Chains A and B, each alone.
Chain A
Amino acid sequence: MIQKKICMIGASGVGKTSLISKFVHSMFSDKYLTTVGVKIDKKTVAVDGAEVMLMIWDLEGDDDYQRLQTSYLRGSSGYLLVADGTRQITLDQAIEIQGRVTAAIGPVPFLLALNKADLVSQWEIDQSRVDDLTARGWKSFKTSAKEGAGVEEAFVELSRQMIQPP
């Protein structure tokens, strides 16, 4: 079985832990509980006939209180860059963090998860911004940790990109 390390990266409160919780344990809670430090979960996914064991590193949100520790990214085959679709600023933060991650570990596969897609009336991220990122080669998914939409798809697609020969 192929084993891959992936990291969940993004600003605080965007739903990194909730995405893992939905993907690994099929659970969701509305209550926001901040992550302090790191927690690692595992899940096996089937990708194009191959079994991939994902070691998912849930990293503390990057903010003024705690910057992303790049040593945690060591050995990552890819990462899920998460933004909160109801807070435009978290997309700006995600773009800035992505620059730091690339500087630290080089160009590895990643996907942008625009989370909280169920909160349609509060959605703040313009499609034009997403289109700009797509034009730069970014692949994004609208995800909802609450309803599960796009969650499995995002992890599977990231796994697919990681196992593809360069």
Chain B
Amino acid sequence: MSKLERDSRAGAVLEVLGIAVFVHASGALRISGQPPDWLRLIWPTVTEPDATLPGSSAFLENFLIDARECWTAGGEKRARSGPWVEQTADGNELSLEATALTIGGQAILLLERLGEVFEAKKSMLQKARETVIAYQRLNSEMQKKEILLHCISEEMNAALANVITSLRLIELEKDPTRIGQLLRLASRATEEQQTLINKVLNVFAAELEGLRGRDGTAMAQTQLGDAVRAAEENVAPQFADKGVRLRLAGSGLDEMRVAMDSTHLTRVLSTLLENALQSAPAGDEVRLNFAEESGAILIRISDNGPSFPPDICANLFSRAATAASGPQASHLPLQFCRIAVENCDGEIGYESRHEGGNTFWVMLPTPAAPK
């Protein structure tokens, strides 16, 4: 194969991949070969081979400083811009990345439209950063709780010390008036303790209401379609990685509403989908069925993987599972699912099928007709 043929084939491959190749010469960047279609969405004048890239991108202008350094150094040195967003003439956005390199003494700039791999990376980063933020908030909340707990302990301890001291003094005291005073002191201290305990219980009750998805006046309402799509988005990279398809079955998804906080519902669905994915064979499918049944919404998530052994099934949603190690450890968040679902008067369960496979089901009340 001649060099010309090789170059032509390499150019064709880059064209198929949607990568634009520019050659830097005499201070201008000229496109080599046919410009990919997406390029003219941003730079409408770059339509023909050999067209010049206009200097209209502030990001690219900045990157070209690094690119020139790279071209001057020559050799195998490369400079990558990192991803950036350009706006198209019709107001849409495209994610791009540029690479500067030298080939055969020629200064080359590759412009690539970022596709599925970038979107998958973005999705992973989204999830990772959400987790970090949630962890930071949890950590901060725990610190506040620790301080609060310390204060409560101190106050209860002080009241208890009054009771104990009073009782000891009563034991030694002969004077009925003085005994009466000490009894009143002890009684007041126990009442203080009782008030404090009630305050603590009220705080816990308010937090439980928060978990119930109530804003204090009305039940939360979530459009099932939004939660399903958010959960689908959360798990998409893991599904893609294992080559497992997610199949939705049912009708009227966008009309269905459930009486549950949207964040909790998305987390429950994501957890159940992740569990199903763990069991599902590579290249297989996970099914998410939804239907309205007598004033409630039934969601079923099924896979064709091996059924769980009976001893694991018995503890799938229990606190015991959180302490488990080994295969059970993968089902740790299921306890959260149970609490979240039951706290909005729903039900959650698991069924294994004789022919193999697992189904997790969730029954949630609709806002109009809570169960």
Interface residues of A (CB under 8 A from B): 5, 12-13, 32-34, 36-40, 55, 61, 63-66, 69, 71-72, 74-75, 86-89, 124
Classify chain B's interface size.
20 to 34
Q: Are A13 and B84 in contact (CB under 8 A)?
A: no
A57 to B255, CA, bound (A): 40
**A143-B222 Cα distance, complex, nearest whole Å:** 30
Question: Could you pull out 7 A-B pairs where Cβ atoms are within 8 angstroms?
Answer: A33-B126, A34-B130, A37-B95, A71-B62, A71-B65, A87-B136, A88-B140
Nearest B residue (CB) for A87: B136
Question: Which of A33, A36, A69 has the most CB atoms of chain B within a 10 A radius of its CB?
Answer: A36
The answer, yes or no, to whether B122 is at the interface (CB within 8 Å) is yes
CB-based nearest A residue for B96: A37
| Contact flag A12-B132 (CB < 8 Å), given A34-B126, A37-B82, A39-B84 | yes
- The secondary-structure label for the interface of chain B is helix
Contact of B58 with A40 in the complex, beta carbons under 8 Å: yes
Complex Cα distance, B114 from A36, in Å, reads 12
Residue of B nearest to A58 (CB): B85
| Known contacts A36-B125, A37-B84, A38-B83; A71 and B58 CB within 8 A of each other | no
Separation of A77 and B121 alpha carbons in the complex (Å): 32
Is the beta-carbon distance between B66 and A71 smaller than 8 angstroms?
yes
* Interface presence of B59 (CB below 8 A): yes
A34 to B118, CA, bound (A): 13
Closest 4 CB pairs of A and B: A37-B83, A39-B85, A38-B84, A12-B129
Q: How far is the CA of A9 from the CA of B342 in the complex (A)?
A: 42
Render B122-165 as a binary contact track against A, CB cut-off 8 A, 1 for contact: 10011011101100110010000000000000000000000000
A63–B129 touching, CB < 8 Å: yes
List residues of chain A with CB within 8 A of the CB of B128.
Answer: 65
Name the residue of chain B whose CB is nearest to the CB of A5.
B58
Q: Are B129 and A65 in contact (CB under 8 A)?
A: yes
Cβ–Cβ contact B58 & A74, under 8 A: no
CB distance from A36 to the nearest CB of B (A): 5
